[in-house]
Amino acid sequence: MDKKHIVVLSGAGISAESGLKTFRDSDGLWMGYNVEDVATPRGFEKDPQLVLNFYNERRRDVAAAKPNAAHIGLAELEKDFDVTIITQNIDDLHERGGSTRVLHLHGEIFKMRSVNDEHTIYEIIGDINVGDLSADGSQLRPYIVWFEEPVPMMEKAAALLHDCDYFVVVGTSLQVYPAASLLHYAPAFLPKFIIDKKIPSVNNYPNLHLIEKPATEGVEELKKLLHK
């Protein structure tokens, strides 16, 4: 018998319980920086080393963090279900928690890319600095989808919602677009579970199951509901 397919959309709230600061808790500031200065192409053009330093620090933060019970709990669902994670997060905590199919909408902190070619991508563990060049001779930058840039994985993510049995949204405020629009793509008949310590405004969607708890507790409850 084929396993049922769960698609999960995860956001910053799931990694917050591993100690990684969330953008949404910061009133337009991220770790003390204006978002425009460190998370837009304009910011990179204006002061590339500031932006590189910011992501070098985020890379160190992620390397020091550990997956929590929510990451591990979602991975454990793979024993009984096919599970695809669509994450807005740039960290690798889903992978380290054991999930085997993870689609990163907004890029990955442990990768870097050519400024001129988004498909020239390299793994990175250390720092990127001004003057570090890719094979095509252009400056290297974080492999991150910044504000004001297209989200190339959106089409693939949206298609997954027409080929699944359950849709789970965990730890996201559903405020960052286009990722937040994934809920619109979910068919009306599809059972949808929303897990967040503060449930966003989603009252007009059919087949909703709301679990107003932090991600670690909410995923535990989800596992019980799915195994009933």
Chain-centre distance for alpha carbon 119: 20
Task: Scan for tokens 């999960």, then name that residue.
Answer: 8
CB 212 within 8 A of CB 199: yes
CA distance 143 to 128: 11
DSSP 65: -
Concerning whether 106 is annotated as a catalytic residue, the answer is yes
Tokens of 10: 């995860």
From the list 106, 119, 184, 227, the catalytic residue is: 106
| Helix %, strand %, coil % of the chain (to 5) | 35, 20, 45
* Structural contact between residues 3 and 80, judged by C-beta atoms closer than 8 angstroms: yes
What is the side-by-side strand order in the sheet with 102-104?
102-104, 82-87, 5-10, 166-170, 192-195, 208-211
24 token code pair = 């949404």
First to last CA, the chain: 18
- Identify the CA nearest to 7 among candidates 90, 67, 81, 76: 81
The values of phi and psi at residue 61, to 5°, are -60, -45
Positions marked active-site: 106
